Amino acid sequence: MSAIRKLVLLIFLFGTLSVGVELLLLGHVESFWQLVPLVLIAASPVALVFHVVARNAASIKIFQLLMLLFILSGFVGIGQHYKAKIEFKLEINPSLSGLELFREALTGATVPPVLAPGMMLQLGLLGLAFTYRHPTILKTAQKSEPTTNGE
């Protein structure tokens, strides 16, 4: 494994561990939507161990699919946090609207932090970077290419 691929993987693993611990410490387990990032984070080392054992393109494809779910969960989480923050801000000040409401939702110090789920986006992108032009996939692609005899 190349040095850069190892570094990306280590950053990914550190990030998932950090985010997972933080979510657990914050009690981010009250609803289905709050459990989604924890389940994805828990599934990622399982997918990586599967790849270490299987060493095939399918195991990398499974990890890539998981990373796409990380990215999707980041977008959904931002939407969920934004909606909750808007509701909270409107309870405090019903006269807020438009750009002022948007600004208050993004900059206020109250929970939930609207952009925090963006970390799932970043982790998903890091995971995809780990799989970019992965040697296992490249070997499989080379084996499946038809050989041409100079034609």
Q: Which tens digit of pLDDT belongs to each residue from 5-58?
A: 999 999 999 999 999 999 999 999 999 999 999 999 999 999 999 998 998 999
Give the pLDDT mean for 124-129.
97
Judge whether residue 122 has pLDDT over 90: yes
Judge whether residue 80 has pLDDT over 90: yes
Burial class (CB in 10 A: 0-12, 13-18, 19+), 75: middle
> Would you say 66 and 43 are in contact if contact means Cβ atoms under 8 Å apart?
yes
Residue in this structure with the two tokens 């270490």, named with its chain if needed: 52
Number of domains into which the chain is organized: 1
Domain assignment present for 63 = yes
Q: Domain range spanning residue 88?
A: 3-135
**pLDDT at site 100:** 94
Domain assignment present for 144 = no
**pLDDT at site 138:** 78
Contacts (Cβ under 8 Å, ≥6 apart) of 123: 12, 15, 16, 19, 41, 67, 70
Give the pLDDT mean for 85-107.
93
Give the pLDDT mean for 55-70.
95
Domain assignment present for 142 = no
> Would you say 77 and 37 are in contact if contact means Cβ atoms under 8 Å apart?
yes
What's the rounded Cα separation, in Å, for the pair 91 and 87? 6
Answer with the residue of higher pLDDT: 142 or 97.
97
Judge whether residue 148 has pLDDT over 70: no
Domain assignment present for 145 = no
Give the pLDDT mean for 94-122.
91
Domain assignment present for 150 = no
**pLDDT at site 139:** 78
Domain assignment present for 31 = yes
Give the pLDDT mean for 83-106.
93
Domain assignment present for 98 = yes
Give the pLDDT mean for 68-92.
96
Domain assignment present for 143 = no
Answer with the residue of higher pLDDT: 125 or 112.
125
